[in-house]
Amino acid sequence: MYFWLFIAQVATLVLILGLLYRPLGDYMATVYTTRKNLKVERGIYRLIGVNPDSDQTWPVYLRSVLAVSAIGILIVYGMQRLQQFLPYSLGLPAVPEGLSFNTAISFVTNTNWQSYSPEVTMGYTVQMAGLAVQNFVSAAVGIAVAIALVRGFALRKSGTIGNFWVDLIRGTIRILLPLSIIAAIVLLAGGVIQNFNGFQHVTTITGATQSIPGGPVASQEAIKQLGTNGGGFFNVNSAHPFENPTPWTNIFAIILMLAIPFALPRTFGTMVGDKRQGYAILATMGTLFIASLVAMTLFEFDGSGTAPIAAGGAMEGKETRFGILGSTLFATSSTITSTGAVNSMHDSYTALGGGVAMINMMLGEVAPGGVGSGLYGILVIAIIAVFIAGLMVGRTPEYLGKKLGAREMKLASLYILATPTLVLVGTALSFAIPAVRADIEKTSMWNPGLHGFSEVLYAFTSAGNNNGSAFAGLTANTPWLNSALGVVMFLGRFLPIVFALALAGSLAAQDRVPATAGTLPTHKPQFIGLLIGTIILVSALTYFPVLALGPLAEGLR
Protein backbone atom coordinates (compact mmCIF):
# COMPACT_ATOMS: atom_id res chain seq x y z
CA MET A 1 0.00 0.00 0.00
CA TYR A 2 2.77 2.44 0.92
CA PHE A 3 4.52 1.73 -2.37
CA TRP A 4 1.51 2.59 -4.47
CA LEU A 5 0.72 5.65 -2.39
CA PHE A 6 4.30 6.82 -2.92
CA ILE A 7 4.02 6.24 -6.68
CA ALA A 8 0.69 8.10 -6.80
CA GLN A 9 2.07 11.16 -5.01
CA VAL A 10 5.21 11.32 -7.14
CA ALA A 11 3.25 10.72 -10.35
CA THR A 12 0.84 13.53 -9.48
CA LEU A 13 3.72 15.88 -8.79
CA VAL A 14 5.56 14.95 -11.99
CA LEU A 15 2.37 15.31 -14.07
CA ILE A 16 1.58 18.80 -12.79
CA LEU A 17 5.18 20.00 -13.08
CA GLY A 18 5.33 18.52 -16.59
CA LEU A 19 2.22 20.45 -17.58
CA LEU A 20 3.73 23.67 -16.20
CA TYR A 21 7.22 23.18 -17.71
CA ARG A 22 6.63 24.46 -21.23
CA PRO A 23 4.11 27.32 -20.74
CA LEU A 24 5.77 28.70 -17.60
CA GLY A 25 9.29 28.32 -19.00
CA ASP A 26 8.38 29.98 -22.31
CA TYR A 27 6.50 32.74 -20.50
CA MET A 28 9.53 33.55 -18.36
CA ALA A 29 11.73 33.61 -21.47
CA THR A 30 9.34 36.12 -23.04
CA VAL A 31 9.32 38.25 -19.88
CA TYR A 32 13.10 38.66 -19.98
CA THR A 33 13.55 39.07 -23.75
CA THR A 34 10.73 41.38 -24.81
CA ARG A 35 11.53 45.06 -25.27
CA LYS A 36 8.01 46.15 -24.28
CA ASN A 37 7.45 47.63 -20.83
CA LEU A 38 4.16 47.70 -18.98
CA LYS A 39 2.74 51.07 -17.97
CA VAL A 40 3.28 50.38 -14.27
CA GLU A 41 6.87 49.36 -15.00
CA ARG A 42 7.55 52.60 -16.89
CA GLY A 43 6.23 54.52 -13.90
CA ILE A 44 8.62 52.68 -11.56
CA TYR A 45 11.55 53.31 -13.91
CA ARG A 46 10.82 57.02 -13.90
CA LEU A 47 10.46 57.02 -10.12
CA ILE A 48 13.86 55.39 -9.51
CA GLY A 49 15.59 57.12 -12.42
CA VAL A 50 16.36 54.05 -14.54
CA ASN A 51 16.58 53.96 -18.33
CA PRO A 52 15.11 50.54 -19.21
CA ASP A 53 16.74 50.60 -22.65
CA SER A 54 20.26 50.94 -21.22
CA ASP A 55 22.01 47.64 -20.56
CA GLN A 56 24.70 47.20 -17.92
CA THR A 57 28.16 45.68 -17.80
CA TRP A 58 28.56 42.89 -15.28
CA PRO A 59 30.26 45.12 -12.62
CA VAL A 60 27.39 47.62 -12.85
CA TYR A 61 24.85 44.80 -12.74
CA LEU A 62 26.58 43.43 -9.63
CA ARG A 63 26.64 46.83 -7.92
CA SER A 64 22.90 47.12 -8.52
CA VAL A 65 22.32 43.69 -6.95
CA LEU A 66 24.39 44.65 -3.91
CA ALA A 67 22.73 48.06 -3.61
CA VAL A 68 19.16 46.77 -3.54
CA SER A 69 20.19 44.03 -1.09
CA ALA A 70 21.98 46.46 1.24
CA ILE A 71 18.94 48.74 1.27
CA GLY A 72 16.75 45.74 2.04
CA ILE A 73 18.93 44.74 5.01
CA LEU A 74 18.78 48.23 6.46
CA ILE A 75 15.00 48.47 6.06
CA VAL A 76 14.25 45.07 7.59
CA TYR A 77 16.69 45.69 10.44
CA GLY A 78 15.20 49.12 11.14
CA MET A 79 11.62 47.84 11.11
CA GLN A 80 12.46 45.18 13.68
CA ARG A 81 14.24 47.62 15.97
CA LEU A 82 11.31 50.08 15.74
CA GLN A 83 8.60 47.45 15.84
CA GLN A 84 6.87 48.76 18.97
CA PHE A 85 6.05 52.04 17.15
CA LEU A 86 4.57 50.36 14.07
CA PRO A 87 0.86 49.59 13.56
CA TYR A 88 -0.25 46.02 14.20
CA SER A 89 2.76 45.39 16.41
CA LEU A 90 0.48 43.32 18.71
CA GLY A 91 2.20 44.93 21.68
CA LEU A 92 5.44 43.12 20.91
CA PRO A 93 8.71 44.85 21.85
CA ALA A 94 11.63 45.70 19.59
CA VAL A 95 13.58 42.70 18.33
CA PRO A 96 17.06 42.52 19.95
CA GLU A 97 20.02 43.80 17.92
CA GLY A 98 21.73 40.47 17.24
CA LEU A 99 18.51 38.76 16.23
CA SER A 100 17.49 41.72 14.04
CA PHE A 101 20.85 41.56 12.27
CA ASN A 102 20.52 37.82 11.66
CA THR A 103 16.90 38.03 10.49
CA ALA A 104 17.48 40.99 8.15
CA ILE A 105 20.33 39.19 6.38
CA SER A 106 18.36 35.96 6.41
CA PHE A 107 15.37 37.31 4.49
CA VAL A 108 17.33 39.51 2.09
CA THR A 109 19.54 36.56 1.10
CA ASN A 110 16.53 34.28 0.43
CA THR A 111 17.58 32.09 3.38
CA ASN A 112 14.73 32.83 5.81
CA TRP A 113 16.56 31.25 8.72
CA GLN A 114 14.58 31.97 11.89
CA SER A 115 16.23 31.91 15.32
CA TYR A 116 12.96 32.92 17.00
CA SER A 117 9.28 32.03 17.35
CA PRO A 118 7.65 34.28 14.72
CA GLU A 119 4.16 34.63 16.22
CA VAL A 120 5.50 35.97 19.52
CA THR A 121 8.39 38.01 18.06
CA MET A 122 7.19 39.77 14.90
CA GLY A 123 4.11 41.97 14.51
CA TYR A 124 2.03 41.97 11.35
CA THR A 125 3.65 45.07 9.85
CA VAL A 126 7.14 43.63 10.12
CA GLN A 127 5.89 40.31 8.73
CA MET A 128 4.13 41.90 5.74
CA ALA A 129 6.08 45.08 4.91
CA GLY A 130 9.46 43.72 5.92
CA LEU A 131 9.77 39.96 5.59
CA ALA A 132 7.17 39.27 2.89
CA VAL A 133 8.46 42.10 0.69
CA GLN A 134 11.95 40.62 0.84
CA ASN A 135 10.45 37.26 -0.13
CA PHE A 136 9.53 38.87 -3.44
CA VAL A 137 12.71 40.88 -3.88
CA SER A 138 15.20 38.14 -2.98
CA ALA A 139 13.47 35.66 -5.29
CA ALA A 140 13.43 38.18 -8.13
CA VAL A 141 17.15 38.85 -7.57
CA GLY A 142 17.89 35.13 -7.88
CA ILE A 143 16.01 34.85 -11.17
CA ALA A 144 17.71 38.01 -12.48
CA VAL A 145 21.21 36.62 -11.82
CA ALA A 146 20.27 33.34 -13.54
CA ILE A 147 18.93 35.22 -16.56
CA ALA A 148 22.12 37.32 -16.71
CA LEU A 149 24.23 34.14 -16.87
CA VAL A 150 21.96 32.70 -19.55
CA ARG A 151 22.46 35.90 -21.55
CA GLY A 152 26.18 35.34 -21.22
CA PHE A 153 25.76 32.17 -23.28
CA ALA A 154 23.23 33.70 -25.69
CA LEU A 155 24.93 37.02 -26.50
CA ARG A 156 27.83 37.43 -28.90
CA LYS A 157 30.63 39.99 -28.52
CA SER A 158 28.58 41.97 -26.02
CA GLY A 159 29.96 44.14 -23.26
CA THR A 160 26.67 44.04 -21.36
CA ILE A 161 24.46 41.36 -19.78
CA GLY A 162 21.13 43.21 -19.41
CA ASN A 163 19.67 45.71 -16.97
CA PHE A 164 19.27 44.49 -13.39
CA TRP A 165 16.51 46.93 -12.51
CA VAL A 166 14.44 45.82 -15.50
CA ASP A 167 15.01 42.16 -14.63
CA LEU A 168 14.14 42.76 -10.97
CA ILE A 169 10.93 44.66 -11.66
CA ARG A 170 9.73 42.33 -14.41
CA GLY A 171 10.40 39.25 -12.31
CA THR A 172 8.39 40.73 -9.45
CA ILE A 173 5.47 42.24 -11.36
CA ARG A 174 5.06 39.77 -14.20
CA ILE A 175 5.99 36.46 -12.56
CA LEU A 176 6.06 36.37 -8.77
CA LEU A 177 3.21 38.75 -7.93
CA PRO A 178 0.47 37.30 -10.20
CA LEU A 179 1.39 33.70 -9.36
CA SER A 180 1.42 34.54 -5.64
CA ILE A 181 -2.04 36.09 -5.83
CA ILE A 182 -3.42 32.94 -7.47
CA ALA A 183 -1.59 30.72 -4.96
CA ALA A 184 -2.89 32.73 -1.99
CA ILE A 185 -6.49 32.37 -3.19
CA VAL A 186 -6.02 28.61 -3.54
CA LEU A 187 -4.52 28.41 -0.06
CA LEU A 188 -7.42 30.42 1.37
CA ALA A 189 -9.80 27.91 -0.21
CA GLY A 190 -7.79 25.16 1.44
CA GLY A 191 -8.19 26.62 4.92
CA VAL A 192 -5.06 28.76 5.38
CA ILE A 193 -5.99 31.79 7.47
CA GLN A 194 -5.77 35.45 6.40
CA ASN A 195 -6.80 38.00 9.02
CA PHE A 196 -5.62 40.71 11.41
CA ASN A 197 -7.25 39.30 14.53
CA GLY A 198 -4.18 39.15 16.74
CA PHE A 199 -4.24 36.72 19.65
CA GLN A 200 -7.54 35.06 20.51
CA HIS A 201 -7.80 33.76 24.08
CA VAL A 202 -9.81 30.58 24.43
CA THR A 203 -10.60 28.12 27.19
CA THR A 204 -9.57 24.54 26.48
CA ILE A 205 -11.59 21.45 27.40
CA THR A 206 -9.40 21.05 30.48
CA GLY A 207 -10.25 24.55 31.66
CA ALA A 208 -6.87 26.10 30.82
CA THR A 209 -6.48 29.34 28.86
CA GLN A 210 -4.65 29.31 25.55
CA SER A 211 -3.73 32.13 23.14
CA ILE A 212 -4.44 31.31 19.48
CA PRO A 213 -2.55 33.57 17.04
CA GLY A 214 -4.04 34.83 13.80
CA GLY A 215 -2.46 36.83 11.02
CA PRO A 216 -2.19 37.44 7.25
CA VAL A 217 -0.78 33.96 6.64
CA ALA A 218 -2.04 32.91 3.17
CA SER A 219 -0.45 35.88 1.39
CA GLN A 220 2.91 35.25 3.02
CA GLU A 221 2.68 31.47 2.64
CA ALA A 222 2.19 31.80 -1.13
CA ILE A 223 5.38 33.75 -1.83
CA LYS A 224 7.26 31.83 0.86
CA GLN A 225 6.87 28.64 -1.21
CA LEU A 226 6.77 30.11 -4.71
CA GLY A 227 9.95 32.13 -4.19
CA THR A 228 11.71 29.20 -2.45
CA ASN A 229 12.10 31.48 0.56
CA GLY A 230 11.03 29.29 3.44
CA GLY A 231 10.55 30.50 6.95
CA GLY A 232 7.16 30.43 8.59
CA PHE A 233 4.51 32.69 10.01
CA PHE A 234 4.33 30.32 12.98
CA ASN A 235 7.09 28.60 14.90
CA VAL A 236 6.30 25.10 13.62
CA ASN A 237 6.24 26.38 10.05
CA SER A 238 4.29 24.31 7.52
CA ALA A 239 3.41 21.74 10.19
CA HIS A 240 0.97 24.32 11.61
CA PRO A 241 -2.66 23.74 10.53
CA PHE A 242 -3.12 27.47 9.93
CA GLU A 243 -0.28 27.36 7.36
CA ASN A 244 -0.79 23.88 5.92
CA PRO A 245 -4.19 22.46 6.87
CA THR A 246 -4.63 19.36 4.68
CA PRO A 247 -2.75 16.77 2.61
CA TRP A 248 -3.75 18.50 -0.64
CA THR A 249 -2.47 21.90 0.53
CA ASN A 250 0.75 20.05 1.40
CA ILE A 251 1.07 18.83 -2.21
CA PHE A 252 0.14 22.30 -3.48
CA ALA A 253 2.92 23.85 -1.38
CA ILE A 254 5.40 21.37 -2.86
CA ILE A 255 4.26 22.26 -6.38
CA LEU A 256 4.80 25.95 -5.59
CA MET A 257 8.36 25.20 -4.39
CA LEU A 258 9.28 23.29 -7.52
CA ALA A 259 7.33 25.07 -10.28
CA ILE A 260 9.70 27.91 -11.18
CA PRO A 261 13.01 26.08 -10.56
CA PHE A 262 11.93 23.15 -12.75
CA ALA A 263 10.58 25.49 -15.47
CA LEU A 264 13.71 27.65 -15.67
CA PRO A 265 15.65 25.05 -17.75
CA ARG A 266 13.00 25.60 -20.44
CA THR A 267 13.67 29.34 -20.19
CA PHE A 268 17.38 28.61 -20.54
CA GLY A 269 16.91 26.40 -23.61
CA THR A 270 14.61 28.94 -25.26
CA MET A 271 16.94 31.89 -24.67
CA VAL A 272 20.06 30.10 -25.99
CA GLY A 273 18.17 28.87 -29.02
CA ASP A 274 18.44 25.14 -28.28
CA LYS A 275 15.63 23.65 -26.21
CA ARG A 276 17.49 20.33 -26.02
CA GLN A 277 19.93 21.99 -23.62
CA GLY A 278 17.05 22.76 -21.30
CA TYR A 279 15.87 19.16 -21.39
CA ALA A 280 19.38 17.97 -20.46
CA ILE A 281 19.47 20.26 -17.43
CA LEU A 282 15.92 19.22 -16.51
CA ALA A 283 16.83 15.51 -16.73
CA THR A 284 19.82 16.06 -14.44
CA MET A 285 17.73 17.92 -11.88
CA GLY A 286 14.92 15.37 -12.01
CA THR A 287 17.21 12.36 -11.63
CA LEU A 288 18.90 13.77 -8.54
CA PHE A 289 15.54 14.81 -7.06
CA ILE A 290 14.01 11.33 -7.43
CA ALA A 291 17.15 9.65 -6.08
CA SER A 292 17.12 11.88 -3.02
CA LEU A 293 13.40 11.35 -2.42
CA VAL A 294 13.67 7.57 -2.64
CA ALA A 295 16.70 7.47 -0.31
CA MET A 296 15.12 9.68 2.36
CA THR A 297 11.82 7.80 2.24
CA LEU A 298 13.50 4.41 2.57
CA PHE A 299 15.58 5.56 5.54
CA GLU A 300 12.48 6.90 7.32
CA PHE A 301 10.45 3.74 6.71
CA ASP A 302 13.39 1.62 7.82
CA GLY A 303 13.80 3.37 11.17
CA SER A 304 15.02 0.88 13.73
CA GLY A 305 13.66 0.50 17.23
CA THR A 306 10.43 -0.72 18.85
CA ALA A 307 8.45 2.52 18.41
CA PRO A 308 9.26 3.06 14.70
CA ILE A 309 8.49 -0.56 13.92
CA ALA A 310 5.15 -0.34 15.73
CA ALA A 311 4.29 2.91 13.89
CA GLY A 312 5.33 1.52 10.51
CA GLY A 313 8.27 3.88 10.32
CA ALA A 314 10.01 6.75 12.08
CA MET A 315 6.99 8.93 12.92
CA GLU A 316 8.64 11.05 15.61
CA GLY A 317 8.43 14.73 14.65
CA LYS A 318 6.02 14.08 11.78
CA GLU A 319 2.41 15.19 11.40
CA THR A 320 -0.06 12.32 11.24
CA ARG A 321 -1.97 14.41 8.67
CA PHE A 322 0.90 13.90 6.22
CA GLY A 323 2.60 10.71 7.39
CA ILE A 324 6.06 9.65 6.30
CA LEU A 325 5.39 9.99 2.56
CA GLY A 326 4.01 13.52 2.79
CA SER A 327 6.83 14.49 5.14
CA THR A 328 9.74 13.11 3.10
CA LEU A 329 8.33 14.52 -0.14
CA PHE A 330 8.09 17.94 1.50
CA ALA A 331 11.51 17.64 3.17
CA THR A 332 13.20 16.60 -0.07
CA SER A 333 11.57 19.44 -2.00
CA SER A 334 12.45 21.93 0.73
CA THR A 335 16.12 21.00 1.11
CA ILE A 336 16.89 20.30 -2.53
CA THR A 337 15.57 23.77 -3.32
CA SER A 338 16.51 26.75 -1.16
CA THR A 339 13.08 26.88 0.46
CA GLY A 340 13.88 25.59 3.92
CA ALA A 341 10.22 25.33 4.95
CA VAL A 342 9.38 22.24 6.99
CA ASN A 343 6.22 20.24 7.67
CA SER A 344 8.10 17.86 9.97
CA MET A 345 11.06 18.26 12.29
CA HIS A 346 14.26 17.20 10.52
CA ASP A 347 16.01 16.85 13.87
CA SER A 348 13.73 13.89 14.60
CA TYR A 349 14.50 12.09 11.35
CA THR A 350 16.64 8.99 11.40
CA ALA A 351 20.37 9.76 11.30
CA LEU A 352 20.67 8.78 7.64
CA GLY A 353 17.34 10.41 6.69
CA GLY A 354 18.49 13.69 8.22
CA GLY A 355 21.82 13.14 6.49
CA VAL A 356 20.05 13.04 3.11
CA ALA A 357 18.44 16.41 3.88
CA MET A 358 21.91 17.74 4.65
CA ILE A 359 23.40 16.26 1.47
CA ASN A 360 20.60 17.85 -0.58
CA MET A 361 21.90 21.24 0.50
CA MET A 362 25.55 20.24 0.15
CA LEU A 363 24.96 19.35 -3.50
CA GLY A 364 24.53 23.09 -4.02
CA GLU A 365 20.73 22.92 -4.20
CA VAL A 366 20.79 22.37 -7.96
CA ALA A 367 18.13 19.66 -8.28
CA PRO A 368 16.29 21.92 -9.03
CA GLY A 369 17.64 24.42 -6.49
CA GLY A 370 16.27 27.77 -5.48
CA VAL A 371 14.43 30.19 -7.73
CA GLY A 372 17.21 31.32 -10.07
CA SER A 373 20.07 30.16 -7.87
CA GLY A 374 19.51 26.53 -8.82
CA LEU A 375 19.82 27.29 -12.53
CA TYR A 376 22.95 29.43 -12.31
CA GLY A 377 24.46 26.91 -9.90
CA ILE A 378 23.96 23.94 -12.21
CA LEU A 379 25.19 25.91 -15.22
CA VAL A 380 28.45 26.64 -13.40
CA ILE A 381 28.84 22.93 -12.64
CA ALA A 382 28.01 22.15 -16.27
CA ILE A 383 30.96 24.33 -17.27
CA ILE A 384 33.20 22.29 -14.96
CA ALA A 385 31.81 19.04 -16.41
CA VAL A 386 32.56 20.21 -19.96
CA PHE A 387 36.07 21.20 -18.89
CA ILE A 388 36.67 17.75 -17.38
CA ALA A 389 35.47 16.13 -20.61
CA GLY A 390 37.79 18.40 -22.60
CA LEU A 391 40.76 17.31 -20.50
CA MET A 392 39.93 13.67 -21.23
CA VAL A 393 40.13 14.11 -24.99
CA GLY A 394 42.78 16.83 -25.05
CA ARG A 395 40.61 19.59 -26.54
CA THR A 396 39.88 23.17 -25.53
CA PRO A 397 36.43 22.80 -23.92
CA GLU A 398 33.40 24.57 -25.35
CA TYR A 399 29.90 24.94 -23.97
CA LEU A 400 27.10 26.29 -26.15
CA GLY A 401 29.66 27.72 -28.57
CA LYS A 402 31.65 29.55 -25.89
CA LYS A 403 35.26 28.57 -25.21
CA LEU A 404 36.10 27.87 -21.59
CA GLY A 405 39.53 29.27 -20.91
CA ALA A 406 41.54 29.99 -17.79
CA ARG A 407 39.37 32.96 -16.73
CA GLU A 408 36.11 31.02 -16.97
CA MET A 409 37.51 28.04 -15.09
CA LYS A 410 38.94 30.18 -12.30
CA LEU A 411 35.55 31.82 -11.79
CA ALA A 412 33.74 28.46 -11.87
CA SER A 413 36.24 27.00 -9.39
CA LEU A 414 35.84 29.92 -7.02
CA TYR A 415 32.08 29.51 -7.27
CA ILE A 416 32.08 25.88 -6.17
CA LEU A 417 34.65 26.51 -3.41
CA ALA A 418 32.94 29.52 -1.80
CA THR A 419 30.01 27.82 -0.05
CA PRO A 420 31.81 24.70 1.25
CA THR A 421 34.55 26.94 2.67
CA LEU A 422 31.98 28.98 4.59
CA VAL A 423 30.17 25.89 5.88
CA LEU A 424 33.28 24.03 7.00
CA VAL A 425 35.04 27.04 8.50
CA GLY A 426 31.91 28.13 10.39
CA THR A 427 31.39 24.63 11.79
CA ALA A 428 35.06 24.26 12.70
CA LEU A 429 35.24 27.60 14.51
CA SER A 430 32.16 26.69 16.54
CA PHE A 431 34.09 23.83 18.10
CA ALA A 432 37.68 25.08 17.83
CA ILE A 433 37.30 28.29 19.87
CA PRO A 434 37.08 27.21 23.55
CA ALA A 435 34.64 29.91 24.71
CA VAL A 436 32.39 29.40 21.68
CA ARG A 437 32.45 25.63 22.05
CA ALA A 438 31.48 25.90 25.70
CA ASP A 439 28.53 28.11 24.78
CA ILE A 440 27.49 25.80 21.94
CA GLU A 441 27.58 22.72 24.16
CA LYS A 442 25.93 24.38 27.15
CA THR A 443 23.30 26.57 25.48
CA SER A 444 22.72 25.60 21.85
CA MET A 445 22.96 21.83 21.54
CA TRP A 446 20.08 19.90 23.09
CA ASN A 447 21.63 16.60 22.07
CA PRO A 448 25.24 15.77 22.98
CA GLY A 449 27.65 13.70 20.92
CA LEU A 450 27.33 12.90 17.22
CA HIS A 451 23.80 14.23 16.83
CA GLY A 452 24.71 17.52 18.48
CA PHE A 453 27.57 17.89 16.01
CA SER A 454 25.12 17.18 13.18
CA GLU A 455 22.84 19.95 14.48
CA VAL A 456 25.62 22.54 14.21
CA LEU A 457 26.81 21.22 10.84
CA TYR A 458 23.24 21.34 9.54
CA ALA A 459 22.87 24.96 10.71
CA PHE A 460 25.96 26.16 8.84
CA THR A 461 25.09 24.04 5.79
CA SER A 462 21.62 25.59 5.74
CA ALA A 463 22.99 29.12 6.19
CA GLY A 464 25.80 28.78 3.65
CA ASN A 465 23.48 27.39 1.00
CA ASN A 466 20.74 29.93 1.83
CA ASN A 467 18.26 27.20 2.67
CA GLY A 468 16.94 28.19 6.09
CA SER A 469 15.73 24.85 7.43
CA ALA A 470 17.14 23.63 10.73
CA PHE A 471 17.57 20.70 13.03
CA ALA A 472 15.08 21.89 15.62
CA GLY A 473 17.24 20.65 18.47
CA LEU A 474 19.61 23.62 18.10
CA THR A 475 19.06 26.88 19.99
CA ALA A 476 20.51 29.39 17.53
CA ASN A 477 19.46 32.67 19.18
CA THR A 478 22.86 33.23 20.80
CA PRO A 479 25.43 35.98 20.12
CA TRP A 480 27.82 33.60 18.33
CA LEU A 481 25.30 31.83 16.12
CA ASN A 482 23.35 34.99 15.28
CA SER A 483 26.58 36.67 14.15
CA ALA A 484 28.33 33.71 12.54
CA LEU A 485 25.30 32.42 10.69
CA GLY A 486 24.46 35.96 9.56
CA VAL A 487 27.92 36.38 8.02
CA VAL A 488 27.76 32.93 6.42
CA MET A 489 24.32 33.67 4.94
CA PHE A 490 25.52 36.98 3.52
CA LEU A 491 28.72 35.63 1.98
CA GLY A 492 27.00 32.40 0.90
CA ARG A 493 24.54 34.44 -1.13
CA PHE A 494 26.69 37.15 -2.65
CA LEU A 495 30.07 35.51 -3.27
CA PRO A 496 28.53 33.01 -5.72
CA ILE A 497 26.59 35.86 -7.34
CA VAL A 498 29.84 37.79 -7.86
CA PHE A 499 31.44 34.82 -9.62
CA ALA A 500 28.30 33.99 -11.64
CA LEU A 501 27.96 37.56 -12.94
CA ALA A 502 31.69 37.81 -13.72
CA LEU A 503 31.33 34.56 -15.64
CA ALA A 504 28.31 35.96 -17.48
CA GLY A 505 30.33 39.02 -18.53
CA SER A 506 33.24 36.89 -19.72
CA LEU A 507 31.00 34.63 -21.80
CA ALA A 508 28.96 37.48 -23.26
CA ALA A 509 32.14 39.16 -24.55
CA GLN A 510 33.00 36.11 -26.66
CA ASP A 511 31.82 35.27 -30.14
CA ARG A 512 30.31 31.86 -30.75
CA VAL A 513 32.62 29.24 -32.23
CA PRO A 514 31.05 26.76 -34.66
CA ALA A 515 30.56 23.18 -33.52
CA THR A 516 33.00 20.64 -34.96
CA ALA A 517 33.31 16.86 -34.95
CA GLY A 518 35.23 17.12 -31.69
CA THR A 519 32.64 19.26 -29.89
CA LEU A 520 31.07 17.53 -26.89
CA PRO A 521 27.28 17.20 -27.36
CA THR A 522 25.74 18.65 -24.22
CA HIS A 523 22.18 17.52 -24.82
CA LYS A 524 22.66 13.75 -24.84
CA PRO A 525 22.45 11.12 -22.07
CA GLN A 526 26.25 10.87 -21.86
CA PHE A 527 26.50 14.51 -20.83
CA ILE A 528 23.62 14.14 -18.37
CA GLY A 529 25.51 11.30 -16.72
CA LEU A 530 28.73 13.32 -16.71
CA LEU A 531 26.94 16.30 -15.14
CA ILE A 532 25.35 14.14 -12.43
CA GLY A 533 28.73 12.55 -11.71
CA THR A 534 30.40 15.95 -11.47
CA ILE A 535 27.78 17.25 -9.04
CA ILE A 536 28.14 14.20 -6.79
CA LEU A 537 31.93 14.08 -7.07
CA VAL A 538 32.41 17.73 -6.15
CA SER A 539 30.15 17.40 -3.11
CA ALA A 540 31.47 14.02 -2.00
CA LEU A 541 35.10 15.07 -2.04
CA THR A 542 34.29 18.26 -0.16
CA TYR A 543 31.85 17.13 2.49
CA PHE A 544 32.41 13.40 3.04
CA PRO A 545 34.95 13.81 5.88
CA VAL A 546 32.66 16.06 7.91
CA LEU A 547 29.61 13.89 7.17
CA ALA A 548 31.58 10.94 8.51
CA LEU A 549 31.84 12.78 11.84
CA GLY A 550 28.10 13.42 12.06
CA PRO A 551 25.16 11.70 10.35
CA LEU A 552 27.14 8.83 8.82
CA ALA A 553 28.83 7.95 12.11
CA GLU A 554 25.51 8.21 13.95
CA GLY A 555 23.58 6.19 11.38
CA LEU A 556 26.12 3.40 10.91
CA ARG A 557 27.17 2.79 14.49
433-460 pLDDT per residue, tens? 999 999 999 999 888 888 899 999 999 9
Across 110-231, the runs of DSSP E, i.e. the strands, are 199-203, 209-213
- Confidence (pLDDT) at 232: 87
Buried b (16+ CB within 10 A) or exposed e, 509-529: bbeeeeeeeebbebbeeebbe
Compute CA distances 354 → 137, 299, 329, 341, 552, whole Å.
Answer: 30, 9, 13, 15, 10
CA atoms within 13 A on the CB side of 402: 29
Summarize pLDDT for 148-186 with one digit per residue, the tens: 999 999 999 999 999 999 999 999 999 999 999 999 999
Is the predicted pLDDT of residue 40 greater than 70, yes or no? yes
Q: Is the pLDDT of residue 396 over 80?
A: no
- Out of 203-217, 340-354, 369-383, the most confident range is 369-383
> Which residues, other chains included, contact 500 with Cβ-Cβ below 8 Å and sequence gap of 6+?
145, 148, 149, 376, 380, 415
Q: What is the mean pLDDT of the chain?
A: 93
Binned at pLDDT 50, 70 and 90, residue 3 comes out as: confident
What are the residue ranges spanned by the domains of the chain? 370-556
At residue 114, the 3 state secondary structure works out as coil
Which helix (H) or strand (E) is 4 found in, with range? helix 2-33
